[in-house]
Amino acid sequence: MRSIDLSPLLRSTVGFDHLNRLMETALRGDNGESAYPPYNIEKVDEDAYRISMAVAGFGENDLDVTLHEGVLTVTGKAQEEDVEKAKNYLYRGIARRAFERRFRLADTIRVVGASYENGLLNIELRREVPEHMKPQKIAIGKTARAKVIEGKAA
C-alpha cells in the first residue's frame, strides 16, 4: 500500500495534530484485532450519544474506562480465578482476552457516566456546546461614521 504524506497540508495549520493522527489511523487499515470487542454507537437524542460494548465474560472490576486529552479508552483484562482454572471446558466460545479500544471525542463531547448490565458496557455521552461556539444572529443596522478632519499645512 502506498503511503500518503500529509506534511504539506499540516505546514500552515496550528493545533490540528489530531487530524494527522486520525488520517494515519485510517490509512493503516483494519488489522482484525480492532473488531474485538464489538460495539455500537447510538444517537439517543439531539445532544446525547451512547457507546455500547459487548463485553461478555468480563466483570465490572475487569473493565477500566478512562478519558485523557479527548481520547476515551476502554480497557478489559480478565482476572484469573481459581474457579475458572478448575473448570474443564469442552468448548470455550466466550472470549476473555485482554483488549483496549480507543474513541477520539470532539471537544464538545462530555462523558456523563458508564454502566454495566447483562454483559454490556454502556457509556453515556453528551454534546455541550459553549455559548461562544453557538451560532449568533448579528443585527444589521446603521453605524455612526467617523468624521474626517483635514489638517492644514503651515
- 76 has a pLDDT exceeding 60: yes
- Predicted confidence at residue 88, as pLDDT, reads 82
Q: 1-5, 84-88, 131-135: which has the highest mean pLDDT? A: 131-135
What burial class does residue 23 get, using C-beta atoms within 10 Å of its C-beta: 0-12 exposed, 13-18 middle, 19+ buried?
middle
Cβ-contact 106, 88 below 8 angstroms: no
The mean pLDDT of 118-129, rounded to a whole number, is 91
**Rounded distance between C-alpha atoms, residue 44 and residue 124, angstroms:** 9
| Domains of the chain, CATH where assigned | 37-129 (2.60.40.790)
Average pLDDT, stretch 72-93? 77
Residue labelled with grid coordinates 506534511: 7
Higher pLDDT among residues 111 and 139, named by residue = 111
Mean pLDDT of the chain: 79
Q: Exposure pattern of 52-76 as b/e (b: 16+ CB <10 Å)?
A: ebebebbeeebbebeeeeeebebeb
- pLDDT of 3 reads 66
What contacts 79, CB < 8 A, 6 or more positions away? 59, 61, 62
137 to 9, 99, 123, 130, 134: CA distances (angstroms): 33, 47, 35, 16, 10
Q: What is the pLDDT of residues 24-64, one digit of tens each?
A: 666 665 555 567 889 999 999 988 999 999 998 888 889 99
Q: What is the DSSP letter of 101?
A: E
- Nearest CA among 47, 6, 4 for reference residue 27: 4
